[in-house]
Amino acid sequence: MVKYKLVVRDKNEYKEVIWNKDEYEKFDRYKLKDIDEFTGKFKTHVDLTSELIRITALNPELINRKLQIRYDFRGSNKAVRYGIALEDDAKFLDPYYITSYLNEHYDDEILIEKICNRYSNTHALGYPVNLLKKHLRSLKLGHLTKFDMYDYKQAVLELVDRIVYVHDSVDFAYVMDNKGTAKVNYRQLHDLGIFLAYDYKTRKWKSVKEAQDVKVKTKAKKDNNIPGQYSIFDY
């Protein structure tokens, strides 16, 4: 089993942050889901680090250092991509929310293309990725009929399904847990969910910034108009 760690870098060393020693000592590790559930309680990194300092899980001198999730893979220590999940990100760690979100944004060509590119080198996802790329090309050219559009939407959801759930390698049926429900590949769910959350926040921030820039330019233009002064363009 992969051992995931919430860490902070101190000089050339990654120091593990342990916020619940009793729980940690039971298994000598946290699962990735444990880390997500903890960090997902906090609105900002400041809130998170402040709490860690309060419970003496983090040295106050490291308050400005970035927290990361890292794991060991084939002798190398690697970071989990896109960082930790905070409160606003947590909803993207629900398979049903992801499905609903992409069902609403299936016509967002930029987003769907990003997802295809992200998983294009994953052998097990080759078929759904290539199928989705085919539909995406037709969408861009305006060649999708009403029936083709349905297939395109299904291809988006099929790819999500293949990423999030564990499938049998022979017949691609769901692998079930002891409760009779489809097993979730939590690492894959985390990667896709935080990718979507990161993309959403990035584009939202860009949209807000563009709106602010327009507002500033409009105000500057108005300020340049001196009362009583006429322009040649006023005639």
Q: What does the pLDDT look like over 44-63, one tens digit per residue?
A: 999 999 999 999 999 999 98
Per residue in 129-161, pLDDT tens?
A: 998 998 888 888 888 787 788 888 888 899 999
Residue whose structure tokens are 């106050």: 60
| pLDDT in the model for residue 233 | 39
Q: Cα separation of 64 and 68, whole Å?
A: 13
What does the block give as tokens for 116? 């295809």
Q: What percent of the chain has pLDDT over 90?
A: 46
| pLDDT in the model for residue 227 | 59
Residues in the chain: 235
Assess whether pLDDT exceeds 90 at residue 234: no
Residue (of 161, 163, 85, 152) closest to 120 by Cα position: 163
Assess whether pLDDT exceeds 60 at residue 208: yes
Assess whether pLDDT exceeds 90 at residue 232: no
Q: Cα separation of 99 and 6, whole Å?
A: 28
Q: In angstroms, how far is the first alpha carbon of the chain from the final one? A: 77
| pLDDT in the model for residue 231 | 47
Distances (CA, A) of 26 to 5, 23, 56, 81: 15, 5, 20, 27
CB 85 within 8 A of CB 93: yes
Query: Residue 217 — very low, low, confident or very high, per pLDDT cuts 50/70/90?
Result: low
CB 199 within 8 A of CB 205: no
Residue whose structure tokens are 């308050």: 63
Listed as own residue / partner, the contacts of 181-189 with beta carbons closer than 8 Å and 24 or more positions apart are 184/95, 186/31, 186/32, 186/33, 187/2, 187/32, 188/163, 188/164, 189/93, 189/95, 189/98, 189/163, 189/164
| pLDDT in the model for residue 185 | 93
Distances (CA, A) of 108 to 101, 104, 126: 11, 9, 21
Per residue in 63-118, pLDDT tens?
A: 888 899 999 888 888 999 888 999 999 999 999 999 999 989 988 889 999 999 99
Query: Residue 235 — very low, low, confident or very high, per pLDDT cuts 50/70/90?
Result: very low
Q: Cα separation of 87 and 70, whole Å?
A: 20
CB 62 within 8 A of CB 8: yes
